[in-house]
Structure 1
Amino acid sequence: MLHHTQREIRYNFEYDRRLRACFIGAGGHAYRNVYPTFRYAPVDLIAICDLDAARAKGFARTFGAERTYADHAEMLAAEKPDVVFIVTSYDQDGRVQATRLARDAVAAGAHVWMEKPTAASRQEVEELKALSERSGRRIMTGLKKTFFPAVEKLKDIIASPEFGTLSSLVVRYPQAIPPLADRADLVAMQSFLDHIYHPGAILHYLGGEIDRASYEWTPVTGASVATLRFRSGAVGALHLAAGQSGSAPLERIEAIGEGSHAIVENGCRLIHYRKARLPAYGRAASFIQPEESAALIYEPEFSLGQLYNNNMFTLGYVPEVLHFCEAVLEDKPLTKGTLDAAVEIMKLFDFYRTTEAGQTRTL
């Protein structure tokens, strides 16, 4: 079954049914990347809440919300939304504000889409999962990397018979880790918690659950390299490449099967090296492969005013919001951005937070 399929996008005004939506948060990330997705989703934005009332009103004028609030409890009680979108920050102690806001939204009867991270502890994620199961309300975390078209296509390639069994998976992402002595402090770990959800989501989506891991760490930049063993039997590595140039593409993914492998560079360039024989050593005069085994390269063009060369699509923002909205409208389960996936990412977070370099731990 293919995970990545072409679809034609409908615009907001073309939907017959739309979800009554409230939004908690009026920050820069939400302004750039989440509110604009509603142009392509079955969402009727009825209210916005932010502690800065003037900011909420400015967002309402820009994005067409009918009312604004400075108190989310007041908004939830008055508006009775079908869904609530949450893009907020951290408390002073490093706890994730969205965790308690999601609980309040579910208590008010709404389904929840929340930006990552889901929470600051695995226990809190599991509590949200139990709440979701008791209430019948869906709670989705914005794991945008799993909605990148290039990553979805990579998932298809890995699942194809021609690729064989996934044998190894390597992800590079630029992120520092503080010294072990500082990792009990959630404030010191805030950047790491905020960003481990990106490579963690990719590893879980493509490789499944991680069984055990170990890592080495350098104090020069806080960079690390972890070796991983997945429950499937595949091996892998997570290179947290702190110190790399700010002018370079951030990340790289490489998945290797049996005689075939594929690479995603810069989030939008996918190269699939199909099964091919090595040319005769010392005798081959050309590097050109036969058509049936030549590499396939996928990358967007940036000349036409297409949706696919808009970052809201290339970076997965619209697809993840659509996945959430369609699950609610059609009463079907979420398959990505799930709390199960968030639990697995928090296992990885706990591993780095509590493990000394050089030790092997079961996750």
Structure 2
Amino acid sequence: MLETIKKPFNYEGGAIRYAHEYPRRLRVCAVGAGRHPYFNTLPVLRFAPVDLVGISDLNEERAEAAARAFGATKAYTDHREMFAAERPEAVFIVTSYDKDGRSPGTQIALDAIAAGANVWMEKPTGVSVHEIEEIKAAADAAGKTVMTGLKKMFTPGVERVKEIISNGEFGTPASITVRYPQIIPPMEERGDLHAVYGLLDHIWHPMATILHLMGTVDKFTYEWEPKSQSSILLLRFASGAIGTLHFAAGISGSSPLERVEVVGQNANVVLENGVDLTYYRPSPGPDYGGASYLVPTESAALTWSPEFSHGALFNNGNFLLGYFNEINQFCHSVLAEEPVTKGTLDQCLEIIRIFEAIRTHPSGVFIDLKGDSVK
């Protein structure tokens, strides 16, 4: 055990520490003990450099059950009381939506910053550009880190796609296609946050993938189909690349939710269902009229798929889905007093601008996202 504890942190090499093995841990509190944090975020804290001293939830029984399950010292029903009593260095916020369709997490993040804590929060960071800018101003003034859990930037599959498209062999990424099932309600309903709840809750996932792989979106347009309420966004990136985001409402419940494909120069890479990855390396195609379908072995496609027989940590969906990587980045960034590079408030602003533009602009027009506001 002593030898294990002395090993340096090296997730990429396969070594994962338990929380108690870190020589320095953050004093943290968690706000929210519902199904999502219970399933996905609180379990990850077992592998992060944290000491969980408090959990709060409006439901006292739920807060106490989560505290027992995840080793928190005390349960609370008032997050402000918890912040004052426990004085955390960092706070993890996972909440649902209030009666107005807004996220209580936005105000809780401001309360945490005011209490002197760094913040990791689940999306949505806010429901508008104004709300996220308010958090950003507070964090900058207090010198605190605020990160949103844009988990799709952190999945092993997307990370490998990023690695592939960044190497010289792939060439400059020219286009991207992302599929994700999501309805967009009719234009006349979009002023109601309850009507756009699904879009607000889910747009972060495909857009996080797109921003991480392709960078800033300069402008976009979209077409909308009324029967299934599906849509296709046509994106133009600052790099000059193009892309589509297919909100594929109406797909079968038995179908994988996601598909990502990036095309470079005589190369492309496809990520299916978030885990099955195929890299079509630069290669000549079979000759027309030739006798074989086989391309040269040295340029044949490479494929990866998760293996579930061994007791590997990635058998836990919290690793495959990116939760560990995002929380790990946050904790180590705070400990090192370095800014996070993914899940930043600037990236959140890019996503919420697209959300706001869809709410306020009809289909068929180009929407310019450059500058400080949607035009």
TM range (shorter): over 0.9
Equivalent position of 1:199 in the other structure? 206
Deviations 1:126-183 (A, max 9, x none): 2211211111110010000010001001001111111111100111000001101111
Could you tell me the TM-score, scaled by structure 1's length? 0.97
Corresponding letter in the other structure for 1:319: N
State the secondary structure of the residue aligned to 2:177: strand
State the secondary structure of the residue aligned to 1:237: strand
Equivalent position of 1:220 in the other structure? 227
1:98 and 2:105 are equivalent in the alignment: yes
**Counterpart contact for 1:200–1:348, Cα < 8 Å:** no
State the secondary structure of the residue aligned to 1:161: coil
Equivalent position of 1:264 in the other structure? 271
Equivalent position of 1:176 in the other structure? 183
Query: How far, CA to CA, are the matches of 2:209 and 2:133 in structure 1?
Result: 20
Q: CA deviation at 1:218?
A: 1.1
Which piece of structure 1 moves more, 85-94 or 250-259?
A: 85-94
1:86 and 2:93 are equivalent in the alignment: yes
Q: CA deviation at 1:7?
A: 4.1
Deviations 1:179-204 (A, max 9, x none): 01111111211111000000111111
Deviations 1:183-237 (A, max 9, x none): 1111211111000000111111111111111111111111001111111000100
1:323 and 2:329 are equivalent in the alignment: yes
Task: Pick closer, same or farther for the CA change 1:135–1:326 going to 2, 3 Å.
Answer: same
Equivalent position of 1:148 in the other structure? 155
> In structure 1, which of residues 314, 336, 347 is the aligned counterpart of residue 342 of structure 2?
336
1:355 and 2:372 are equivalent in the alignment: no
Size of the aligned set, in residue pairs, is 359
> In structure 2, which of residues 39, 42, 52 is the aligned counterpart of residue 45 of structure 1?
52
RMSD over equivalenced CA pairs, Å: 1.1
State the secondary structure of the residue aligned to 1:226: strand
> In structure 2, which of residues 10, 15, 18 is the aligned counterpart of residue 8 of structure 1?
15
Structure 1 gap segments, 5+ residues each? none
> In structure 2, which of residues 287, 297, 316 is the aligned counterpart of residue 291 of structure 1?
297
Equivalent position of 1:254 in the other structure? 261
Equivalent position of 2:40 in the other structure? 33
State the secondary structure of the residue aligned to 1:17: coil
Query: How far, CA to CA, are the matches of 1:25 and 1:309 in structure 2?
Result: 25
Query: How far, CA to CA, are the matches of 2:206 and 2:69 in structure 1?
Result: 33
1:312 and 2:318 are equivalent in the alignment: yes
**Counterpart contact for 2:217–2:235, Cα < 8 Å:** yes
Equivalent position of 2:236 in the other structure? 229
Corresponding letter in the other structure for 1:302: F
Task: Pick closer, same or farther for the CA change 1:296–1:112 going to 2, 3 Å.
Answer: same
% same residue:
53
Equivalent position of 2:7 in the other structure? none
State the secondary structure of the residue aligned to 2:188: helix
Task: Pick closer, same or farther for the CA change 1:145–1:6 going to 2, 3 Å.
Answer: farther
Query: How far, CA to CA, are the matches of 1:258 and 1:135 in structure 2?
Result: 45
Query: How far, CA to CA, are the matches of 1:131 and 1:105 in structure 2?
Result: 10
Give the 5 Å matches for 1:102-117: 102-117=109-124
Corresponding letter in the other structure for 2:306: P
Structure 2 gap segments, 5+ residues each? 1-10, 370-375
Corresponding letter in the other structure for 2:113: V
Query: How far, CA to CA, are the matches of 2:350 and 2:19 in structure 1?
Result: 34
Give the 5 Å matches for 1:50-61: 50-61=57-68
Query: How far, CA to CA, are the matches of 1:176 and 1:89 in structure 2?
Result: 20
> In structure 2, which of residues 146, 152, 160 is the aligned counterpart of residue 139 of structure 1?
146
1:281 and 2:321 are equivalent in the alignment: no
Query: How far, CA to CA, are the matches of 1:240 and 1:252 in structure 2?
Result: 11
State the secondary structure of the residue aligned to 2:120: strand
Query: How far, CA to CA, are the matches of 2:129 and 2:183 in structure 1?
Result: 21
Could you tell me the TM-score, scaled by structure 2's length? 0.94
Corresponding letter in the other structure for 1:234: A
State the secondary structure of the residue aligned to 2:51: strand
Query: How far, CA to CA, are the matches of 1:54 and 1:137 in structure 2?
Result: 32
Runs of 4+ in 1 over 2 A off after TM superposition: 4-7
1:159 and 2:156 are equivalent in the alignment: no
Query: How far, CA to CA, are the matches of 1:280 and 1:55 in structure 2?
Result: 64
Query: How far, CA to CA, are the matches of 1:167 and 1:351 in structure 2?
Result: 25
